[in-house]
Amino acid sequence: MRIAVDARPLEERPSGVGRYLEGLLSAWLDARPEDAFILLSPRRVHVPARLAGRVEVASSLALPGTIWLQTAAGRAAHRAGADVFFGSLGILPLAGSLPGVATVHDLTPLLYPKWHSRKNRLGFTPFIGATVRRARRIAVVSDATRRDLVAAFPDAAGKTAVVYNGIEPEAPDTGGATPHGGRPYVLYMGTFEPRKNVLRLVAAMESIWDRRPDFPDLVLAGGDGWGLGGFAKGVARSRHAARLTLAGYLGPGERARWLREARVFAYPSLYEGFGLPPLEAMAQGTPVVGSFSSSLPEVMGDVGLLPDPASVPDIAAALERAHDDADFRRRAAAEGPRRAGSFTWAAAATKMRTLFEEALG
């Protein structure tokens, strides 16, 4: 099977979908080395070390992403001899004869357009309905995403399957400095954008520090997204600015080290298609505060705390419990790694290959 892949998410500093592609394709090739992946993108593809020498990278026209996908990507896939096209970002080329399989991670550009830039909306919303009609099979990363997809497009029901993301617990690197200088901290790790709810997280921590000056600091790690212009300046103006640290983007071993050493991992997102960071924190045995929104209860189970993400007091109460409750912390340390270990890329790859076989059948 030769599979052309929309490889735009494979960037130098990949976010969630880039890491999804790395984990999925690596596990797939471990199990089925006879298959071939052709990575297509209108910009440079940063092939992860785990995929180096195991995938093909085909040249394609340098165009804006959506224009490229709908004009040049299908032709590039044909030239490369692909049997099927994989829409890793949820959208397929609508022209051409190659069968297609898409992974829909979430429907936020359609359901919550205010959380996205105009560019993101225009690359998704006008094409998702046609993709649902054209796709032979659709993978979704959670039951929550499947419900959203089928509610919006009932015809998707018969061709859609839940394929959970996986994780591979990373070993913390041992060469760096002690995280946060050895001081206790609550960690957030993710893109800074409206749906991640970091403004309410900061407000919740400020409300705790007003009452408890000895409560751990807050470390915010990740890259800038869209919609939170001036966030760094706002942090600097906080009445507790000295307790807030912007740590920037963390690489794999560094990420694991900061997760393991955190007193609490905080991820009170307003909406997640899946939510890899809470699962990565659970794999390290770190107590997690998520939210009761979308897929997070499905992914975290009863191992973490799930406050109302729209309520600053609820988030604050959950953070304090995760820090103070010794029984909860012991259970998180014991059950978190077991829960995380139930989500594997090997299982995801097996289910995805079945979808591709069905698409070609």
Statement: residue 224 has pLDDT above 80: no
Q: Are residues 296 and 335 in contact, defined by beta-carbon separation less than 8 angstroms?
A: no
Statement: residue 225 has pLDDT above 80: no
Pick from 95-99, 123-127, 135-139, 249-253: least confident: 249-253
Neighbouring residues of 62: CB distance < 8 A, sequence distance ≥ 6: 42, 43, 68
The residue to which tokens 């032709």 are assigned: 75
The per-residue b/e assignment along 332-356, b for 16 or more CB within 10 angstroms, e otherwise, is: beebbbebbeebbbbebbeebbebb
* Per-residue confidence (pLDDT) for residue 348, from 0 to 100: 98
Nearest to 89 by CA among 72, 71, 69: 69
Q: What is the pLDDT of residues 54-93, one digit of tens each?
A: 999 998 899 999 999 999 999 999 999 999 999 999 999 9
Q: What is the pLDDT of residues 271-319, one digit of tens each?
A: 999 999 999 999 999 999 999 999 999 999 999 999 999 999 999 999 9
Q: What is the pLDDT of residues 6-22, one digit of tens each?
A: 999 999 888 889 999 99
* Per-residue confidence (pLDDT) for residue 226, from 0 to 100: 75
* Per-residue confidence (pLDDT) for residue 53, from 0 to 100: 96
Statement: residue 201 has pLDDT above 80: yes
Q: What's 49's DSSP letter?
A: G
Terminal Cα-to-Cα distance of the chain (whole angstroms): 12
The confidence band for 353, taking pLDDT boundaries of 50, 70 and 90, is very high
CATH number corresponding to 2-166+344-360:
3.40.50.2000
| pLDDT average, residue stretch 319-343 | 97
Between residues 95 and 270, the one the model is more confident about: 270
Instruction: Map out the domains of the chain as residue ranges.
Output: 2-166+344-360, 179-341
- On the question of a common fold for 2-166+344-360 and 179-341, the answer reads yes
Statement: residue 252 has pLDDT above 80: no
* Per-residue confidence (pLDDT) for residue 249, from 0 to 100: 87
Nearest to 150 by CA among 132, 163, 135: 132
* Per-residue confidence (pLDDT) for residue 96, from 0 to 100: 82
pTM of the predicted structure, to 2 decimals: 0.93
The architecture in CATH of the region 179-341 reads 3-Layer(aba) Sandwich (3.40)
Statement: residue 228 has pLDDT above 80: no
Q: What is the pLDDT of residues 32-62, one digit of tens each?
A: 999 999 999 999 999 999 999 999 999 889 9
Q: What is the rounded average pLDDT for all residues in the chain? A: 94
Q: What is the pLDDT of residues 150-185, one digit of tens each?
A: 999 999 999 999 999 999 877 777 777 789 999 999
Q: What's 137's DSSP letter?
A: E
